[in-house]
Amino acid sequence: METSVPKANRLIHASSPYLLQHAYNPVDWYEWGEEALQKARRENKLILVSIGYSACHWCHVMEHECFEKEDTAAIMNKHFVCIKVDREERPDIDQLYMDALQLLTGRGGWPLNMFTLPDGRPLHGGTYFPKTEFETTLNALTNLWENEPEKAMEFATKLARGVKSIDQFEYSADSEKGNLLIRETLEKWQENFDLNWGGYTWAPKFMMPSNWDLFMQYGHYFNNQRFKDAVEITLDRMALSGTYDQVGGGFCRYSTDSFWKVPHFEKMLYDNAQLLGLYGKAWSAYRKPLYAQLVNSMDGFLQRELKDHSGLYYSALDADSEGEEGKFYCWTEPELKQLCGAQFDLVKEVYALEENGNWEHGKNILHCPYTLHELQTRCGMSLNAIQEQLDAVHARLLEARNKRVRPGLDDKLLCSWNALLAKGYAEAGMAMNRPDLIDKASSLADKILEVFFVNEVLYRVAKGNEVKIEGFAEDFACLIDALIHVAEASYRDDLLHKAHSLMQQCINRFYDTNRQLFTFTPIDRPELLTRKLDVNDDVIPSANSILARCLFKLHYYFENESYLDKLETMQGLVAGKFARYPGGFANWMQVMLLQSEGFEQVLGSGPEAAKELGKLRMNYKPNRICFEVKAGSSIPLFSSKPVGTETRFWICEDKTCGLPLGTLLN
């Protein structure tokens, strides 16, 4: 008896791993593009825009329950033009329809399934749909469009108006309050801290690196112990948790519970890139060996599991393997007994193992529910001794785990996410005085420019030997920010000049002179329903807040006052929204603190300058940069500093420098 071979649909020609996962669905999928949009207009059909990403567990579930089924696909193909979108390749489309979904339902997430009119205006949407509910929705919308199109168009018109209104901002004088505004905002927000388990007092718990970076800075600037404690508790709990891969390193995307125990097991490059830098800076602030160990573990994970042969880094690892979420990462007690040997009792104590599993299907997640002090007491040994034994166990577990079926790998290379990692390596390298990490940051920055910047055009996606999709504001913002940080870490003038050049290009292509913010898509490209402004900070900070920080620093390096004027206007447009949702403006507040606290530049030249500056950078001070000035520098900030055979340092506050010093005291 012959087995029928599934027929490929047009997604077979896609480069996105997520789209390729759907290439053998019976659905007549299109990629986003003019072909699909013209078909919808020509045949007067509703559009289904289905958005997800390759590591998304519930995306896989919905594909299996709905998109792989012939009967469901038949309804879709008959009545809809069906478009699959990788949200990581096309964040512009994802942003647009996510705004619509949140207006419709008050929540968002992936998979994002948005039904639109033939012209793309959103009509109805949701996230995960079970098969029966999905088919009911398909049939109801088909009936509405065929029998009451005026009603559908009226609703879509109102919804489109609501989506456009999200990006309306009015200037607020609140920005002129500076530190006072931030103190008022954060003193209220601290009520949400979970001082037992870290993070906030709700679940699920996302990592939100820029939030904890802000709180660490705030605690330092104002010597606020509650904020210092909240950061330390959170970083400790995350490091010991089930959301961190204790065996192989790397953070999962978020915890489903309030104890950081059970993650959704996908690992994203953008989370790990930012957390690498955060833990490096936290080491300089708290000097905890745990944070240094975590930086090493994360670096090992990135090099071993996400690094491409080109020197760039892949996007994500799937949550599932062999059709089961977390199967690759979890253990039965008999497996652990066999592999851990004499250390089993210690492992059982540290990770609170249970005979029948501390999770589903008799499996155990390696999750330590104890504080560091509790851990020493329970195990009766020092943290160093515990870690030494666990390191040996983890090596054996990793060797055994490598024989399992691995989770899927999203092997596309994204400009913005690689730039986040270059910045993360630079931040950790500076904070810990680690030349090896700085070298990785510098090499990665060079590779990003080599691969993604082609014929003076910045691209977002690389796969194989091809680049595609011109960069969005996020790509420019993350890359400019990375180049500045890598330049500061490695004392490279050339990267500062490149950052300055890219900022000029970004202003020319993305800065909306009417709204006085950067649009997400270039102003010389056709808009979708509206031209979105990426303003709210999320797991990745917004393009506008990153660009605000870059404008601030570049205005110092290149003495460009127009950059400062733009920054101050941008802050005035968003500052009025801080109080309502501080977590959504964490990166904006970091920039405001940088201004309010005074920006200190420590410049050095001569044979011992680099070594002394490296030591100084280990002392946590977030409003200070250190840079070695070299002979012939054309950076305006450096050009007046004489470079000779003797070591000299200049300490500058904002735009005023003191007399040269022969040594640095602190």
CATH number of the domain that residue 115 is part of: 3.40.30.10
Q: What is the CATH number of the domain that holds 535?
A: 1.50.10.10
| CB-based contact 382:390 (threshold 8 Å) | no
Tell me: do 460 and 508 sit in the same domain. yes
List 650's β-bridge partners, or say none: 603
Query: What per-residue confidence (pLDDT) applies to 529?
Result: 83
Burial of 505: CB neighbours in 10 Å, binned 0-12, 13-18, 19+: middle
Specify if 665 maps to a domain.
no
Is beta strand 600-605 parallel, antiparallel or unpaired with respect to 624-628?
A: parallel
3-state secondary structure of 264: strand
Tell me: do 110 and 14 sit in the same domain. yes
Burial of 87: CB neighbours in 10 Å, binned 0-12, 13-18, 19+: buried
What is the DSSP annotation of 346-399? Answer: HHHHHTT--TT-SSSTT-B-----S-HHHHHHHHTS-HHHHHHHHHHHHHHHHH
Specify if 663 maps to a domain.
no
Q: Containing domain of residue 397, as a range?
A: 338-401
Low-confidence ranges of the chain (pLDDT < 70): 1-5, 665-666
Among residues 401, 426, 443, which one ends one of the domains? 401
Residue 463: which residues within 8 A CB-CB, separation 6 or more?
A: 15, 411, 412, 413
State how many domains the chain has.
4
Among residues 353, 372, 401, which one ends one of the domains? 401
Tell me: do 348 and 267 sit in the same domain. no
Cα–Cα distance, 628 to 647 (Å, whole number): 10
* CA 311 to chain CA mean position, Å: 20
Dig out the tokens for 272 from the structure: 């790990």
How many CB atoms are located within 10 Å of the residue 33 CB? Answer: 9
Q: Which of 203, 196, 201, 193 is nearest to 226 (CA)?
A: 193
List 519's β-bridge partners, or say none: 533
Size (the chain), residues: 666
* CA 3 to chain CA mean position, Å: 43
Give the start-end residues of each E strand in 68-225.
80-86, 112-116, 122-126, 205-206
Dig out the tokens for 37 from the structure: 């949009």
Q: Which residue has the tokens 């679940």?
A: 203
| CB-based contact 144:151 (threshold 8 Å) | yes
Specify if 4 maps to a domain.
no
Phi, psi of 125 (to 5 degrees): -160, 170
Among residues 596, 629, 648, which one ends one of the domains? 596
Residue 229: which residues within 8 A CB-CB, separation 6 or more?
A: 195
Query: What per-residue confidence (pLDDT) applies to 666?
Result: 57
Tell me: do 253 and 317 sit in the same domain. yes
3-state secondary structure of 51: strand
Tell me: do 463 and 585 sit in the same domain. yes
Tell me: do 236 and 353 sit in the same domain. no
3-state secondary structure of 206: strand
Cα–Cα distance, 624 to 98 (Å, whole number): 38
| Eight-state DSSP code of residue 537 | -
Tell me: do 158 and 258 sit in the same domain. no
Cα–Cα distance, 370 to 350 (Å, whole number): 8
Specify if 621 maps to a domain.
yes
Q: Which residue has the tokens 């700085």?
A: 438
Burial of 619: CB neighbours in 10 Å, binned 0-12, 13-18, 19+: exposed
Specify if 605 maps to a domain.
yes
Specify if 150 maps to a domain.
yes
Specify if 1 maps to a domain.
no
Q: Which of 280, 294, 209 is nearest to 246 (CA)?
A: 294
* CA 304 to chain CA mean position, Å: 20
Tell me: do 570 and 457 sit in the same domain. yes
Write the single-letter amino acid at 221.
Answer: Y
Largest CA distance in the chain: 89
User: Taking each helix axis from N to C terminus, what angle separates 225-240 and 209-222, rounded to the nearest 10 degrees?
Assistant: 150
Query: What per-residue confidence (pLDDT) applies to 654?
Result: 77
CA distances (Å), origin 408, targets 39, 256, 259, 330, 559: 33, 21, 27, 16, 48
Query: What per-residue confidence (pLDDT) applies to 2?
Result: 47
Tell me: do 529 and 554 sit in the same domain. yes
Cα–Cα distance, 55 to 88 (Å, whole number): 11
Tell me: do 481 and 565 sit in the same domain. yes
What is the DSSP annotation of 415-432? Answer: HHHHHHHHHHHHHHHHHH
Query: What per-residue confidence (pLDDT) applies to 169?
Result: 86
CA distances (Å), origin 201, targets 228, 257, 291, 532: 17, 10, 23, 31
Tell me: do 201 and 214 sit in the same domain. yes
Is beta strand 29-31 parallel, antiparallel or unpaired with respect to 80-86?
A: parallel
Cα–Cα distance, 339 to 400 (Å, whole number): 8
Q: Is the dihedral of CA 654, 657, 658, 660 positive or negative?
A: positive
| Eight-state DSSP code of residue 167 | T
Residue 235: which residues within 8 A CB-CB, separation 6 or more?
A: 198, 212, 278, 279, 282, 291
Specify if 75 maps to a domain.
yes
Query: What per-residue confidence (pLDDT) applies to 115?
Result: 98
Cα–Cα distance, 210 to 586 (Å, whole number): 6
Dig out the tokens for 140 from the structure: 């109801």
Cα–Cα distance, 280 to 161 (Å, whole number): 44
| Eight-state DSSP code of residue 602 | E
List 80's β-bridge partners, or say none: 46
Tell me: do 581 and 502 sit in the same domain. yes
